[in-house]
Amino acid sequence: MPVLEGRARHLLAGRPNTAAIVLLRGDITEQWVDAIVNAANSSLLGGGGVDGAIHRAGGPEILAACRDLRASHYGKGLAVGQAVATTGGKLYARSVIHTVGPVWSDSEDRSALLASCYRESLRVADTLDARTVAFPAISTGIYRWPIDDGARIAIETVRTTKTSVREVRFILFDDRAYAAFAAAVSAE
């Protein structure tokens, strides 16, 4: 049986046509949900961080599906702020929604692109009829987005995006990320 790591302590009920929000400490690859979101890069061909963990846990079927996407509609790769789905392979989740977050910049405001990742992922989730979706804190690792700001954008965007998804779970990998998301939820 899959185990839900951590206890959901911070919850926001969904407004009409928006998802309820749940925060959990844990590893996104262990989530029993319809779809999990991958913080990928434009190549779609894997990487480190949560991307590496998802490909390791989901097996080669996910990479094969990503290669097919590159060979068909995404010859130049997936643009920053966009999202696309593949099979979930061996994961409990039926689908993986790959999105490409912006790299943090001191000189340019890329917030709209980060918000777009959450919005586009929910749009793709709707096309899959997904009711439960797990997100990592996109861009806040290797792409260096400050966690407090990344959490604020994530919560604000999911809170205001119309969707048929009923539950969005943010799976936070460490205490600092959890605390940042909890603060963002409390600020709502």
- Beta carbon nearer to ligand AR6, 100 or 122: 100
To which residue do tokens 């909890």 refer?
182
Residues 6+ positions from 108 with CB-CB distance below 8 Å: none
| Shortest reach from residue 47's CB to ligand AR6, in Å | 2
CB of 140 to ligand AR6, least distance (A): 4
Three-state DSSP state, 170 = strand
**Candidates 27, 51, 68, 149; catalytic one:** 51
Q: How far is the CB of 168 from ligand AR6 (least distance, A)?
A: 14
Is 51 in the active site? yes
Q: Which residues are at the interface with ligand AR6 (CB under 6 A)?
A: 27-29, 39-41, 47-51, 53, 101, 136-143, 171, 173-174, 177
Residues 119, 120, 126, 129, Cα dihedral to 10°: -120
User: At 178, is the secondary structure helix, strand, or coil?
Assistant: helix
| Beta-carbon contacts of residue 154 (< 8 Å; ≥ 6 apart) | 114, 118, 135, 137, 138, 170, 181, 184
Nearer to ligand AR6, 130 or 154 (CB): 154
| Residue number with CB closer to ligand AR6 (27 or 167) | 27
Active site residues: 51
